[in-house]
Amino acid sequence: MFQIFGIPSQALFGQLLLGLINGSFYALLSLGLAVIFGMLNVINFTHGAQYMLGAFTAFFLLQYLGLGYWWAIIIAPIVVGVFGMIIERLFLKRLQNLDHLYGLLLTFGLALIIEGVFRNFFGSSGLPYAVPLSLQGGTNLGFMFLPNYRAWVVVFSLVVCLATWFLIERTKLGAYLRAATENPTLVRAFGINVPRLITVTYGVGVGLAALAGVMAAPIYNISPQMGANLIIVVFAVVVIGGMGSIMGAIVTGFGLGLIEGLTKVFFPQAANTAIFVIMAIVLLVRPAGLFGRRI
C-alpha cells in the first residue's frame, strides 16, 4: 500500500476505475445521442428510458426465459432497438419537417410514459442482477484489485465505441449515412432509401443505449429511474464534446468519467456537479464544444 498526494492508492485507483466505468456509459450513451442527432436532428430525450429498458429486458430474459447475461447482451439491444424503430415510424417521422423542439418535447413525453409505467410496476427500489459466472471474481494487479466484470465493461464498451466509429467513418454504409446527414435530398436522388436509413439509424442509436443498460445491470441496481438522472449528465457531456464528431463523443465520455472519478477522491462534495461545472467552463472558453463544429 502506498500513497499518492496523501490518498491511499487503493482508493485512488478504485475511484479512477469507477470513473472509467461511468465514462464507458457516458461514451456509449452520448455516442448514441450523437448518431441519432446527426441523422434525425432530434435530441433523443427517451435515451435514458431506453437505457433503462435495456436493463429491464435483461432482467426479464433471465426471470422468465432463463436466458442469461450473454443472451441478454445480444437480444436486449435488438428488442429495444426495434421498439425504437417503431417509435420513429409512428411519431418522429411525422415531426420531421417541424421545428426540432417538437422532437425534443415528444421524446420527453415518451420518457415520462415509459418511466412512469415501470415505476408503477416495479416501484422505486432496485432489482438485483447477478454478474455472469464467467466474469465473477477479480484480478489482483498489485496496486489494486480489479473485478473482472468491471474490466470487461470498460474493454467491451471501448470496442463497441470504436466499432461504431469504424462503421460510420470507414464503411460504405457509413458513407451513405454521412452523406444523408449533409444533404438528404441529393442522397435520395441517387436512389438510396433515406427514410429507411433514418429509421435504422434511430434503431442503432437506441440499441446502443440498451446495450449500455445491459452492461450497467450487474453494477448498479436495475430501477425505473436509473436512466433519468444519468441522461442529464450525458446531455452535459454532449454539450462539452459537441455532437459534430463521433470520436469526440467517445473521448469526451471516457475523459469526463475519469475527471468525475478524480473529483470523488479529492473533492467529494463536488462529485455530483463536477461535469456541470466543466460544461459551464467549456461554454465560456469554447462555446462550440471541444470537438464541435461552429454552428
Partner 1 sequence: MALSVAKSQALFAPGRSEVIAFLVMTAIFVVAPMFAYPVFLMKVLCFGLFACAFNLLIGYVGLLSFGHALFFGWASYISAHAAKVWGLSPELAILAGTVTAAVLGIVVGALAIRRQGIYFAMITLALAQMMYFFALQAPFTHGEDGIQAVPRGRLFGVIDLSNQTNMYVTVLIIFLVCFLLIYRIINSPFGEVLKAIRENEPRTISLGYQVNRYKLMAFVLSATFAGVAGATKALVFQLASLTDVDWPMSGEVVLMTLVGGLGTVFGPAAGAFFMVTLENYLTTIGQWVFVVQGVIFVVCVMVFRRGIVGEIAHLTQVKL
Q: How far is the CB of 50 from partner 1 (least distance, A)?
A: 14
Q: How far is the CB of 28 from partner 1 (least distance, A)?
A: 18
Q: With CB under 8 A as the contact rule, which of the stretches 145-153, 203-211, 215-223, 272-280 interacts with partner 1?
A: 272-280
Length of the chain: 295
Choice between 33 and 214, CB closer to partner 1: 33
Binding of partner 1 by 185 (CB under 8 A): no
Binding of partner 1 by 295 (CB under 8 A): yes
Residue 43 identity (one-letter amino acid): I
Torsion angle of the four alpha carbons 115, 117, 122, 125, in this order, in degrees rounded to the nearest 10: 30
User: Is beta strand 3-4 parallel, antiparallel or unpaired with respect to 138-140?
Assistant: unpaired
- 161 touches 28 (CB < 8 A): yes
Residue among 9, 128, 120 nearest 59 (CA): 128
Size of the site for partner 1 (CB under 8 A): 45
Binding of partner 1 by 122 (CB under 8 A): no
Q: Name the residue with cell 429509421.
A: 199
Which of 108, 152, 165, 220 is in the footprint of partner 1 by CB under 8 A?
A: 108
Largest Cα–Cα separation, the chain = 65
What would the grid cell of residue 60 be? 426479464
Residue among 74, 43, 46 nearest 58 (CA): 74
**Residue 41 burial by Cβ neighbours in a 10 Å radius (0-12, 13-18, 19+):** exposed
Binding of partner 1 by 136 (CB under 8 A): no
Binding of partner 1 by 117 (CB under 8 A): yes
Q: How far is the CB of 266 from partner 1 (least distance, A)?
A: 17
Which of 60, 91, 156, 220 is in the footprint of partner 1 by CB under 8 A?
A: 91
Q: How far is the CB of 284 from partner 1 (least distance, A)?
A: 7
Q: How far is the CB of 92 from partner 1 (least distance, A)?
A: 10
Binding of partner 1 by 268 (CB under 8 A): no
Choice between 212 and 236, CB closer to partner 1: 236
Residue among 193, 244, 216, 271 nearest 30 (CA): 244
- Residue 183: DSSP 8-state: -
Residues of this chain that interact with partner 1 (CB under 8 A) are 37, 41, 43, 91, 94-95, 98-102, 104-106, 108-117, 119-120, 228, 232-233, 235-236, 238-239, 269, 272-273, 276-277, 279-280, 283-284, 287-288, 295
